[in-house]
Chains A and B, each alone.
Chain A
Amino acid sequence: DAGVIQSPRHEVTEMGQEVTLRCKPISGHNSLFWYRQTMMRGLELLIYFNNNVPIDDSGMPEDRFSAKMPNASFSTLKIQPSEPRDSAVYFCASSPDGGSGNTIYFGEGSWLTVV
């Protein structure tokens, strides 16, 4: 079975450019997460969708970050304009509904470097 699919795997961009990260969750999963991982702050939840609706975006760092989920099989995380401090690994993850004991399935990550 296909897992969570993310693209691009690696991106190097210049400061000020727009970055779009893409995610295809596991079919049938109702919950979708965007996480950011850095050495300094560890794993941070940026935004959580349930049934394609953003439920919790309290982790989005600032207005430069936005996320959408137009349908059950696709989500994007956009950074505009990008800054060097946005350099991190961004993970998309999905989970079936049913409570806080469910396993979260992660994609392989998008490694972003902003120079």
Chain B
Amino acid sequence: AQSVTQLDSQVPVFEEAPVELRCNYSSSVSVYLFWYVQYPNQGLQLLLKYLSGSTLVKGINGFEAEFNKSQTSFHLRKPSVHISDTAEYFCAVSDPAAGNNRKLIWGLGTSLAVNP
């Protein structure tokens, strides 16, 4: 069965510093990979997703992620964070063979706290 592990539950960082949020998945088959962000008191919204093609995926707000099949990872990065990036970040994985996305497997989230 597929699973998603977000290796850090909390990541504190200073403004303008780089950040990496780590995500590993377990699957013996091909996967679709997602990062969603949840700002305080809001719902989740898509940051970026990998379906196929280039392993480096660029998303909104200057974030990017790299799919590494050999390491089964999909780490999220930003070269310089802002206070407004303070949020909860969720990694998720799905099976491309599934007919719909109800079987999306979610990580437990990483809380990014950007300090001035």
Contacts and interface: CB of A to CB of B under 8 A. Distances in A.
A25 interface: no
Contact of B101 (A42, A102, A106, A107): A102
Nearest to A33: B102
Interface in B74-116: 90, 94-104, 106-109
B42 A109 contact: yes
Contact of B43 (A48, A103, A106): A106
- Assign chain A's interface to a size class: 20 to 34
Contact of B32 (A33, A55, A93, A100): A100
A31 B42 contact: no
A67 interface: no
Contacts of B109: 42-43
A104 B101 contact: yes
Contact of B100 (A50, A93, A107): A50
Interface of B: 32, 41-46, 49, 51, 90, 94-104, 106-109
